[in-house]
C-alpha cells in the first residue's frame, strides 16, 4: 500500500513496500508543462546509500537515465522503479493541482467587500466638511506624531492606487530618522490584500506575477537600494501601466517555444532611502513636504 505524505511542503515523501522517495524542496506550482524536482530514492530496509538526483519527470530522456541509475545503484528491476516513479508523478500532479486550487480560492477570498453599515459610515466620512483635517486626526490617533503633513501625503499616495494614475513617493532621510516607521504606520491603514511589502527584489521578480495580480496595489519598499534592479519595471508600471517580457522555454513536446509574459498595472510605489540620487519619483524630505500639489490634496476622489 503506497502512501504520500504532504505535511511538509518542502519534503514530500512517497513510499511503497519497496522504495521511499523524498521530494526535496517540494514542487513548484508554476509551469504545469514541467515537473522539475530533486529526488532522494532509498531502498526500504537496506543499508545501500540512497540515490539523489535533480530532473524533470516530464522529460522521457532524463527519466530513462534516472531509472537506469537507480536500478544499478539499488540493484532493482527497471520495471519496478518505472512503476513507482509513474505513481509518484501522478501523486505530485494531483498534489500540485490541489495546491493551485487552494491558492486561487485564497486569492478570490482576499477581497473583503464592505457591509452596508460600513458603506454608510464611509460615505458619511467622505461627505465630512473638513475631510483632510479629520483624516489627520485619525492618523494621529493611530500613533503618528510630528509628521502630520507627510503622513497625510503618504496616505493619499497609497489610496491613489485605485485611480488610473497612482502617485508614488520616496521618503528621503538619514538613517534612524523614522522614515520606515512612518511608512509602516500609514501602511497599516491599507487593507492587507491591497499592499505588498518587500525589502529586496530580484531583477525578474515583477515579470512573474500573474497578469492582474498587482493591478492597483501598493508596493511598500523598506530599502530602495535593495530594489535598484527593478526600478525599470516599476517605472514602466507607473508610466505605461504594464510590463512585458519575452522568454524562451521548453514546451510539452520538449521543443523550445517563445512566450510573452505580461503584467498589468498601474501600481503605487512607496519607498524609503538615505540616498538623494534616486529615481525621479515623488520625494518627501525629512521634515519637509516634497513636490506635491495642492490640487492632489483636495481630490476627494482618491478616497
For residues 120 and 261, membership in a common domain is answered with yes
For residues 276 and 222, membership in a common domain is answered with yes
* CATH classification at residue 197: 3.40.50.300
For residues 106 and 120, membership in a common domain is answered with no
Residue 273 predicted with pLDDT over 90 = no
* Residue 253 backbone dihedrals phi, psi, to 5 degrees: -85, 5
Residues 6+ apart with CB under 8 A from 217: 161, 194, 195, 196, 267, 268
Averaged pLDDT of the chain: 81
pLDDT at residue 42, as a whole number: 94
- Domain range for 287 is 116-302
Picking from 86, 110, 134, the residue at the C-terminal end of a domain is 110
For residues 84 and 161, membership in a common domain is answered with no
For residues 148 and 15, membership in a common domain is answered with no
For residues 214 and 269, membership in a common domain is answered with yes
- Residue 51 has a CB neighbour count (10 Å cut-off) of 19
Q: What is the number of domains present in the chain?
A: 2
The 10s digit of each residue's pLDDT in 55-110 is: 999 999 999 999 999 999 999 999 999 999 999 999 999 999 998 888 777 665 55
For residues 192 and 250, membership in a common domain is answered with yes
Cα of 162 vs its chain's centroid, Å: 19
- Is 152 exposed, middle or buried, given 0-12, 13-18 or 19+ CB atoms closer than 10 A? buried
pLDDT at residue 21, as a whole number: 95
pLDDT at residue 284, as a whole number: 44
User: Which set of grid coordinates corresponds to residue 218?
Assistant: 501598493
Q: Which of 21-35, 99-113, 199-213, 214-228 has the highest mean pLDDT?
A: 21-35
For residues 198 and 179, membership in a common domain is answered with yes
For residues 171 and 227, membership in a common domain is answered with yes
The 10s digit of each residue's pLDDT in 120-163 is: 888 888 888 888 888 888 888 877 777 788 888 888 889 888 88
For residues 197 and 286, membership in a common domain is answered with yes
Q: Which residue has the higher pLDDT, 249 or 181?
A: 181
Nearest to 220 by CA among 272, 177, 259: 272
Nearest to 281 by CA among 297, 298, 296, 268: 268
Report the share of the chain in percent with pLDDT over 90: 26
The string over 231-244, giving b where at least 16 C-beta atoms fall within 10 Å of a residue's C-beta and e elsewhere, is bebbbbbbeeeebe
Residue 303 predicted with pLDDT over 50 = no
User: How confident is residue 295, by pLDDT bands cut at 50, 70 and 90?
Assistant: very low
For residues 151 and 288, membership in a common domain is answered with yes
For residues 97 and 203, membership in a common domain is answered with no
pLDDT at residue 290, as a whole number: 38
Residue 13 predicted with pLDDT over 50 = yes
Amino acid at each position: 500500500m503506497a502512501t504520500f505524505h504532504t505535511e511538509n511542503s518542502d519534503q514530500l515523501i512517497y513510499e511503497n513496500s519497496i522504495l521511499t522517495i523524498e521530494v526535496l524542496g517540494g514542487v513548484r506550482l508554476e509551469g504545469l508543462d514541467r515537473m522539475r524536482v530533486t529526488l532522494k530514492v532509498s531502498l526500504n530496509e537496506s543499508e545501500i546509500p540512497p540515490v539523489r538526483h535533480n530532473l524533470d519527470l516530464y522529460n522521457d530522456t532524463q527519466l530513462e537515465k534516472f531509472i537506469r541509475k537507480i536500478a544499478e545503484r539499488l540493484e532493482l528491476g527497471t520495471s519496478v522503479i518505472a512503476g513507482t516513479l509513474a505513481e509518484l508523478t501522478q501523486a505530485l500532479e494531483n498534489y500540485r493541482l490541489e495546491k493551485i486550487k487552494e491558492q486561487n480560492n485564497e486569492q478570490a477570498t482576499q477581497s473583503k467587500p464592505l457591509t452596508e453599515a460600513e458603506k454608510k459610515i464611509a460615505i458619511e466620512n467622505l461627505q465630512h466638511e473638513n475631510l483632510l483635517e479629520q483624516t489627520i486626526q485619525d492618523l494621529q490617533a493611530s500613533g503618528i506624531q510630528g509628521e502630520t503633513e507627510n503622513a497625510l501625503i503618504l496616505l493619499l499616495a497609497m489610496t491613489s492606487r485605485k485611480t488610473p494614475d497612482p502617485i508614488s513617493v520616496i521618503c528621503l532621510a538619514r538613517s534612524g530618522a523614522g522614515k520606515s516607521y512612518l511608512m509602516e504606520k500609514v501602511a497599516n491603514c491599507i487593507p492587507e490584500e491591497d499592499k505588498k511589502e518587500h525589502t529586496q527584489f530580484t531583477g525578474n521578480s515583477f515579470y512573474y506575477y500573474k497578469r492582474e495580480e498587482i493591478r492597483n496595489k501598493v508596493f511598500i519598499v523598506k530599502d530602495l537600494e535593495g530594489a535598484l534592479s527593478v526600478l525599470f519595471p516599476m517605472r514602466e508600471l507607473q508610466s505605461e501601466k504594464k510590463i512585458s517580457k519575452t522568454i524562451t522555454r521548453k514546451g510539452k513536446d520538449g521543443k523550445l517555444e517563445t512566450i510573452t509574459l505580461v503584467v498589468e498595472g498601474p501600481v503605487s510605489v512607496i519607498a524609503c532611502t538615505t540616498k538623494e540620487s534616486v529615481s525621479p519619483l515623488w520625494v518627501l524630505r525629512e521634515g519637509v513636504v516634497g513636490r506635491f500639489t495642492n490640487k492632489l490634496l483636495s481630490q476627494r476622489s482618491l478616497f
